[in-house]
């Protein structure tokens, strides 16, 4: 692998992060307790890191970029960005440790939405610079810092560009909107910006302030879940705002490539997608089950039928899209969905594991993998009954090769292995069984609220240093969908070679 190329492209990405850091700096000038100094320090740190990386990559030829460098960049950028982003959070909120600030930054960039704020340090009491930065991290992470860079750096418009795109979008299938990856990235970024602006204006039209509308639009389209309110979306006190965010979360969780194709007049491509149909069907069925369960088994929920349906659908869609927003705090006795029956909790846990669609901003294991796993199981059962029968696993009418099917099985094995290992470490940090299982699951699926002490009524401040480090690791590998991180840790992956040496030689 050519480390010089990795260093050079990382330098450009870190420079971009420094530029984005000007926005919290601007907001900090209007009454923040710590003023602009935390953000000046963060920007200076980013510039220093970028300078070192540029020096390391001074002789690199970016046109030689291969899938190896693409994997390394998409893996390292989350680590570097979160370490730098934590500097501003730590300096602006000195009550927390740098490790806790790193947890918050990693949660932001991976669009997880878990937070250490809300108990000893109220979210509503944070400086505006911190609030804006938390949501900007999620917005950047939503589409992927790497994909965003493809539309900004013409250096990557050559053949190596698709290597970076494949590493960032590691699903079963990839949709390309244009022959060149840079053109595809421009379509994606344009759509992402348009969706963000639309959600901002729609929320603003409900009577919310422009600041709160803007911040929540950033985290909605990124399916991130950070809020400027201590009681999440209930802070809007508006049913209209909840419905707007529901639409925004679904839009963020669907494949952007298919949504853009639909906007360009090819709506049949969106509805022809098996993943899209299954995803929407899952949300519909889950919403109906939760509505029934809450209505029949939860006595405290004495609100109107409309509120019952809205609260149930909102929390189901928030979980199914791995956003992590919540409503229901303002119910009759002040309880949240943590007081829902066990059946509803089971539905939400299953949705956390499944996640959203490939090519969107949602986390989880992705619907398409469950579709492939189901089809593979069906194929094996038919082969068991009819040994002579030759069957192939197909998605959207296109057969998948055996390697893709094997990767799905490997993915689920690694997912549950990380969940089990993470739960053990969090339990060793002193947490109870439910909290440990829920915290590890929400971290590795990039969902947000966990269960128990880290549930929708709690936060992640009290899980301790071991718990924070465990969650940071789980959020990272979950965002990278495991295989990229495993490749990054391989000594064969880091084997350096000259720019003229073929990528398949070690």
Domains assigned to the chain: 1-168 (no CATH), 171-372 (no CATH), 373-492 (1.10.287)
| Cβ atoms 92, 129 nearer than 8 A | yes
| For residue 12, pLDDT beyond 50 | yes
Instruction: State the DSSP H helix or E strand holding residue 333, giving kind and residue range, or none if neither.
Output: none
Query: What's the token pair of residue 215?
Result: 């911040």
Three-state DSSP at 214 gives helix
Per-residue confidence (pLDDT) for residue 180, from 0 to 100: 63
Using only the alpha carbons of the chain, give its radius of gyration.
22
| For residue 173, pLDDT beyond 60 | no
H-helix segments, 321-454: 342-354, 367-385, 402-428, 433-444
Q: What is the mean pLDDT of residues 398-410?
A: 83
Residue 25 or residue 150, greater confidence: 25
Residue 156 or residue 296, greater confidence: 296
pLDDT bin (cut points 50, 70, 90) of residue 172 is very low
Per-residue confidence (pLDDT) for residue 5, from 0 to 100: 87
Range scoring the smallest mean pLDDT among 43-52, 112-121, 395-404: 395-404
pLDDT (tens digit, 9 = 90+) per residue, 90-128?
999 999 999 999 999 999 999 999 999 987 899 999 999
| For residue 56, pLDDT beyond 80 | yes
Per-residue confidence (pLDDT) for residue 90, from 0 to 100: 97
pLDDT (tens digit, 9 = 90+) per residue, 414-472?
999 999 999 999 999 999 999 999 999 999 999 999 999 998 888 899 899 999 999 99
> Could you tell me the CA-to-CA distances from 249 to 107, 234, 241, 321 in Å, in that order?
18, 16, 12, 7
What's this model's pTM, rounded to 2 decimal places? 0.90
Output the CA angle 111-51-98, nearest 5 degrees.
45
Q: What is the mean pLDDT of residues 411-416?
A: 94
CA dist 265 and 274 (Å) reads: 19
Output the CA angle 81-475-350, nearest 5 degrees.
145
**Beta-sheet strands, E only, within 114-252:** none
| For residue 499, pLDDT beyond 90 | no
| For residue 502, pLDDT beyond 50 | no
Q: What is the mean pLDDT of residues 31-35?
A: 87
Q: What is the mean pLDDT of residues 215-244?
A: 95
| For residue 387, pLDDT beyond 80 | no
What DSSP letter does each residue of 239-307 carry, written as one string?
Answer: HHHHHHHHHHHHHHHS-HHHHHHHHTT-HHHHHH-HHHHHHHHHHHHHHHHHHHHHHHH-TT--S-HHH
Q: What is the mean pLDDT of residues 242-262?
A: 93
- The most distant pair of C-alpha atoms in the chain lies apart, rounded to whole Å, by 75
H-helix segments, 21-66: 22-28, 37-56
* Helices 67-92 and 37-56, axial angle in degrees (round to 10): 160
Range scoring the smallest mean pLDDT among 268-272, 399-403, 455-459: 399-403
Per-residue confidence (pLDDT) for residue 184, from 0 to 100: 72
3-class SS shares of the chain: helix, strand, coil, % to 5: 65, 0, 35
Residue 450 Cα to chain centre, angstroms? 15
Average pLDDT value over all residues in the chain: 86
Residue with tokens 């990693």: 106
Q: What is the mean pLDDT of residues 195-208?
A: 97
| For residue 169, pLDDT beyond 60 | no
Residue 366 or residue 162, greater confidence: 366
Per-residue confidence (pLDDT) for residue 504, from 0 to 100: 43
pLDDT (tens digit, 9 = 90+) per residue, 313-372?
999 999 999 999 998 755 444 456 777 888 999 999 999 999 999 888 999 999 999 999
Q: What is the mean pLDDT of residues 494-500?
A: 49
| Cβ atoms 114, 138 nearer than 8 A | no
Residue 363 Cα to chain centre, angstroms? 5
């Amino acid at each position: 692998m050519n480390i010089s190329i990795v260093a050079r492209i990382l330098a450009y990405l870190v420079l971009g992060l420094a530029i984005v850091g000007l926005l919290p700096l601007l907001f900090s000038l209007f009454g923040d307790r710590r003023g602009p100094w935390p953000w000046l320090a963060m920007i200076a740190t980013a510039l220093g890191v970028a300078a070192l990386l540029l020096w390391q990559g001074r002789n690199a030829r970016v046109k030689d970029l291969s899938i190896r460098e693409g994997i390394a960049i998409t893996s390292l950028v989350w680590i570097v960005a979160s370490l730098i982003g934590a500097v501003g959070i730590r300096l602006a909120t000195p009550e927390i440790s740098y490790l806790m600030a790193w947890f918050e930054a990693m949660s932001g960039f991976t669009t997880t939405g878990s937070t250490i704020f809300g108990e000893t340090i109220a979210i509503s009491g944070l400086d505006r610079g911190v609030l804006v930065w938390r949501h900007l991290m999620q917005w950047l992470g939503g589409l992927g810092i790497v994909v965003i860079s493809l539309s900004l750096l013409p250096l990557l418009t050559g053949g190596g560009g698709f290597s970076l795109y494949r590493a960032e979008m590691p699903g079963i299938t990839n949709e390309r909107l244009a022959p060149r990856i840079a053109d595809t990235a421009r379509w994606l970024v344009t759509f992402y910006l348009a969706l963000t602006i639309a959600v901002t204006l729609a929320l603003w039209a409900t009577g919310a302030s422009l600041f709160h509308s803007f911040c929540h639009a950033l985290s909605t389209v990124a399916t991130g879940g950070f809020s400027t309110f201590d009681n999440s979306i209930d802070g809007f006190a508006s049913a209209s705002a909840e419905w707007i965010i529901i639409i925004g979360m679904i839009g963020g969780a669907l494949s952007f490539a298919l949504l853009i194709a639909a906007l360009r007049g090819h709506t049949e491509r969106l509805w022809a997608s098996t993943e899209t149909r299954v995803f929407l069907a899952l949300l519909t069925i889950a919403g109906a089950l939760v509505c029934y369960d809450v209505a029949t088994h939860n006595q405290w929920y004495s609100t109107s039928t409309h509120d019952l349906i809205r609260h149930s659908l909102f929390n189901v869609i928030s979980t199914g899209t791995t956003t992590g927003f919540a409503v229901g705090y303002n119910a009759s006795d002040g309880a949240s969905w943590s007081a829902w029956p066990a059946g509803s909790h089971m539905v939400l846990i299953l949705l956390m594991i499944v996640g959203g669609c490939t090519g969107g901003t949602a986390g989880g294991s992705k619907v398409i993998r469950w579709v492939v796993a189901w089809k593979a199981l069906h194929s094996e059962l038919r082969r068991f009954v009819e040994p002579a029968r030759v069957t192939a696993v197909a998605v959207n009418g296109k057969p998948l090769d055996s390697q893709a099917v094997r990767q799905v099985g490997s993915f689920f094995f690694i997912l549950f292995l990380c969940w089990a290992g993470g739960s053990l470490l969090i339990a060793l940090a002193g947490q109870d069984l439910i909290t440990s299982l829920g915290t590890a699951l929400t971290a590795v699926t990039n969902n947000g609220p966990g269960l128990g002490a880290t549930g929708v009524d709690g936060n992640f401040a009290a899980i301790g240093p071991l718990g924070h480090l465990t969650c940071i690791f789980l959020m990272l590998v979950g965002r990278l969908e495991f295989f990229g991180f495993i490749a990054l840790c391989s000594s064969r992956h880091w084997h350096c070679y000259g720019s003229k040496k073929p990528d398949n030689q070690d």
